[in-house]
């Protein structure tokens, strides 16, 4: 499975230009030889605005963002995964979406585990799911679920062959949590579970809002080694071929020490 992982600059309140940049990134990645089987976008749709306190740009999962990305998926004959702030009953969800080559949503996975700051913005999903597509059995882990051993255990038990994640890991200069060990924490889980993992993150400059995102887009192999990593603050597309087992097999993972 050949993947292209996009690290995308996002500006708060610039919904149209951000969306156009995401579509352009799909086009640029797909128009290569060899072309990717899957393009992974970060959590770009409405997430930065929600983190900054504005939830008016949240969408339905089957809304304009997935429709636009779905059209590109169908046009190029590729799979596309992305992250978004989607409508919830009380608070929005941070949701990862996997779109197939026909432009159909195959899986929408809400982030399940939230820290205290996350709970002020997002609602929590209820379970971790996997989905079978032509490429294999995929798991989506949204945001901080990429750090969580229970989330990884759940998708391993379901026979996941690879983990995809879209995120927007924000840091505030004062009063916020600056996640310095994002890559280390994900690498530990990938190694423990023996799964490749591709993660797409956004980059945001504060521009007076107090919110910044450096960008932590990375591809890890099944031993937790970094295969490709984007520079902080830079737009980038990472590439890798991810080897998958011939068929998914449910299995147990090693207990954490």
Report the alpha-carbon distance of residue 125 to residue 110 in Å, rounded: 5
Architecture of domain 2-241: 4-Layer Sandwich (3.60)
pTM of the model as a whole = 0.91
Q: Where are the domains of the chain?
A: 2-241
Burial of residue 158 (CB within 10 Å: 0-12, 13-18, 19+) is middle
Instruction: Going residue by residue through the chain, which has 257 residues, state the pLDDT in tens, using 9 for 90 and above.
Output: 999 999 999 988 788 999 999 999 999 999 999 999 999 999 999 998 898 888 888 999 999 999 999 999 999 999 999 999 999 999 999 999 999 999 999 999 999 999 888 898 999 999 999 999 999 999 999 999 999 999 999 999 999 999 999 999 876 444 444 445 899 999 999 999 999 999 999 998 765 556 678 899 999 999 999 999 999 999 999 999 999 976 544 555 555 53
What the block records as the tokens of 137 is: 């059995």
């Amino acid at each position: 499975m050949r993947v292209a992982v996009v690290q995308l600059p996002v500006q708060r309140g610039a919904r149209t230009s951000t969306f156009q940049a995401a579509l352009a990134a799909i086009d640029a990645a797909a128009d290569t030889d060899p072309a990717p089987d899957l393009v992974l976008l970060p959590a770009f749709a409405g997430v930065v605005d929600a983190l900054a306190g504005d939830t008016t740009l949240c969408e339905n999962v089957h809304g304009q963002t997935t429709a636009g990305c779905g059209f590109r998926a169908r046009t190029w004959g590729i799979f596309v995964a992305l992250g978004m702030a989607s409508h919830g009953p009380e608070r929005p969800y941070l949701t990862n979406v996997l779109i197939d080559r026909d432009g159909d949503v195959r899986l929408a996975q809400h982030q399940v585990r939230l820290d205290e700051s996350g709970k002020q913005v997002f609602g929590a999903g209820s379970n971790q799911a996997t989905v079978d597509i032509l490429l294999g059995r995929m798991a989506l882990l949204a945001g901080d679920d990429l750090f969580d051993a229970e989330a990884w255990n759940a998708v391993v038990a379901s026979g996941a062959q690879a983990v995809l994640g879209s995120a927007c890991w924000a840091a505030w200069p004062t009063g916020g949590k600056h996640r310095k060990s994002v890559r280390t924490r994900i690498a530990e889980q990938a190694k423990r579970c023996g799964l490749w993992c591709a993660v797409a993150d956004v980059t945001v400059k504060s521009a007076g809002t107090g919110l910044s995102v450096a960008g932590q887009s990375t591809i890890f192999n099944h031993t937790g080694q970094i295969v490709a990593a984007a520079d902080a603050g830079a737009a980038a597309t990472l590439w890798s071929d991810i080897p998958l087992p011939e068929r998914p097999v449910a299995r147990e993972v090693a207990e954490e020490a």
